[in-house]
Amino acid sequence: MMDPVADTRRGTAGYTLLEMLVVLAVIATATGISFLGVGVLRGVNSPEVFAHKIGRSLVALRFRALNSGRAQSARFDMQDKRVIIAANNSEVILPAEYSFVVTAGQEAGTGDAVSSITFLPDGSSSGAEISIANAHGEWAKLRVNWLTGLVEYADDSQN
């Protein structure tokens, strides 16, 4: 026969394991979606995104110099806040509220200055350091090594 105490326990036992797993899966999915949304909103216009766009353009320009056997150059127009790649007339334009400093050849270019970097057929370059910052204090920096022509991204631990 049935035990009345066991019947009572079964009726008030709470949630089953399956129900708890479903709730945890829903919470994990909602959390993941919210983190992706915040990352997309924040990352679309961050200095790091612009630094990587400029970096990819400079890397492509270096490879073009290596493959063509001819020097290739890029100009940095601080007044219009843009980088102009001479080989294919492409450009990266920064938002007006960003600060943009390029140090090429030991001279920092700001304001109305126009600086340039040249990649040579042997892989070397004239070298540069590019700093980009927004009004919120977020920044990104990349360096082009003059000897190797390699583009390096600075991390947050360096200043």
Q: Which domains does the chain have, with CATH numbers?
A: 47-153 (3.55.40.10)
Cα four-point dihedral sign 83, 62, 118, 148: positive
Q: What is the pLDDT of residue 143?
A: 93
Q: Is the pTM of this model over 0.85?
A: no
Q: What is the pLDDT of residue 42?
A: 54
Q: Which residue has the tokens 């590019």?
A: 130
Q: What is the pLDDT of residue 159?
A: 44
Q: Decide if pLDDT at 71 tops 90.
A: yes
Q: Decide if pLDDT at 4 tops 90.
A: no
Q: Decide if pLDDT at 55 tops 60.
A: yes
Average pLDDT, the chain: 82
Percentage above 90 pLDDT, the chain: 36
> What is the CB neighbour count within 10 angstroms for residue 108?
13
Q: Decide if pLDDT at 103 tops 90.
A: no
- What's the average model confidence in pLDDT over 92-118? 78
Q: What is the pLDDT of residue 67?
A: 94
E strand intervals along 1-159: 72-77, 82-85, 90-93, 99-104, 107-109, 114-119, 128-133, 139-144, 151-153
The answer to whether 64 and 72 are in contact (CB under 8 A) is yes
